[in-house]
Structure 1
Amino acid sequence: MFRKRYVILGAWIGCFLVGYFTWKIFHTGTFFLGKQTQDASLEDLDFTVYVGDYLITHQDIEWEYNFYLKQLNAAPSQEGGSGEAQPPQKPIFELYNKIMADLIERKLLYQFIASDQQFNINEPSRFMHCLEQWTSTVQGQGDLFAHEKTRNQLKNMLCEKDILDQYMKERIAGNIKLTEPELKEYYQSHKSEFHEPARVTIRQIVLASESEAKKVRARVNTSNFESIARELSISPEAKEGGRLGPFAKSDMPSVFDVAFEMAPGEIQGILKSTYGFHIIMLERKFPKADLGFEAAKGRIQDILRKKREDEEYKKWVEMALNTIPIKSSRAL
């Protein structure tokens, strides 16, 4: 999904309203000037915003607002004869503001990348994924998209987000290069963050009923545990003799926490879970250990790449703000 976090729009100071208007939306999520959010009413939502040549009305934001609410709440369609969703009596203004900020940002960046000669936004193949997603959504939720206008609104939203995601991957994230020295430098300054938690390897036998589990528990021991697991266990790892791990405590359901208190070769059970009745044997314990650079390298790359992507994304937004004007009907 297209990422919209870490956006700083307060740097742009332009025409008579844009600077403060943009900063207020993206830094505070608040649009209602002169009022606290809890005191705002539907009348406060009546405004228009020009993002370059594109006009955003409160009806556009209202549609996306209601669309998200219906997805989250699985509520029945509230669309009227006009094909436009009606807002609830008590709007969730925080959600409304976030959707508005997202829409302004989306229109801003979509227009900006249209001028990038190295990214052909008119290439038909770029729209294949979003059109497939659009078709699937319309077919799966036909009651929400009975009108052509709402279908077009959905198509525009999905395709704009998908195109921006492609641009981010190709033109921004795709140009990020990390060097070995900077990876090592990060490792040395954050060494304490890279460690492997305590882990264990176990074998388990899972039975469908408690009565079966009691019979097996009475005859199982360290020498026959693996063969009985292969023969009787209903869990997927039965073919491996019931072997699981190594895993950390947080990796598995709490029923396995007892393994971290056991000694190698010890057998515990009967333990009940949603999967059945477990008998477990501890095979091996692995203590907490610090990771060397090579073992931590992949994680460091993920951390630094994410950080660099966020930095480059902010630069992208700032360039767009310096290129495309934003004007609002809402006076300061």
Structure 2
Amino acid sequence: MRKIVLMGLVALISINMVACNKSTVAKINDVKISKDEYKKTEDFLYATGTIESKDKSNQVNSDILSFIIDNEVVYQAAQEEGIKVKDFEVNEKFNNIKETIDENPAYKEKLKEAGINEEFLKKQVKKDLVVSKYKENFLKDIKISDKEIKSYYESHKDEFKIQEVRASQILISTLDDDNKQVSKEEKEKLKTKAEKLLNKVNNGEEFNKLAKKYSDDKNSGKDGGDLGFFSKEDKNIDFTKEVFKLDKGKNATLIETSYGYHIVKITDKRTVTKSLEDSKDDIKYRILNEKYSKQIDSLYKKGKITIT
């Protein structure tokens, strides 16, 4: 989970820790983390797609707890250094997030189920911006040499092997001309349309002809639906997390994302190794985050942290 925090895959999901009369799972200096707060964080991580499933056993997940503690430790250090953010920064970030949520009904519903309202989210936005500014201040003067980058690449070469798939799709969009989700009634009609096309594909009709005729993704549609090779990071995560579960040469599958209904078929799979040149930015990012991780470790040692 620390990787999620440090690699920038999660923004704005640090929980506001306050003392609580209920049972606690940890204490960071004078701040208690209640079991309820832990659970709310887990629900939020699940709602935002950061974790794919929730623990139904009611046990504390060490990765999630580590994530919470990391954020609280850094937040306390930022407060000691007097790091603050302006109201306009909070409002700007909050409005961007709210717009994204409003455009994705499924995402909005998950947040609602997790008890994440606008007041809660705005508090977390403010706190996360403080944490981000602390990290930015820590890293701004650190220089990474080409020698360090090359050495890292050579010693971690296996980590730069990536899985790619080649897929074809027919997209039935559920967005209107203003890029907003259509009504529920219209969406049901579009789903029926997509299911009929799926049946046609799996009953032997030519995928490329159907894609050219029906796909709302005109770029791939003109190529018969071919998306070319791509990795999990190259496209929308809601799309790729399902696509990479599929097998080459099997029947097409229907996948729903915020863009609409995707009729997808895997045509090839491969493993490639990124070159040093193509990996430089990634390596620099990794090295900086390793240094930041060590800084968090030093904050752990200075503080008093109790796991209950």
Report the TM-score when normalising by structure 1. 0.45
- Larger of the two Rg values belongs to structure: 1
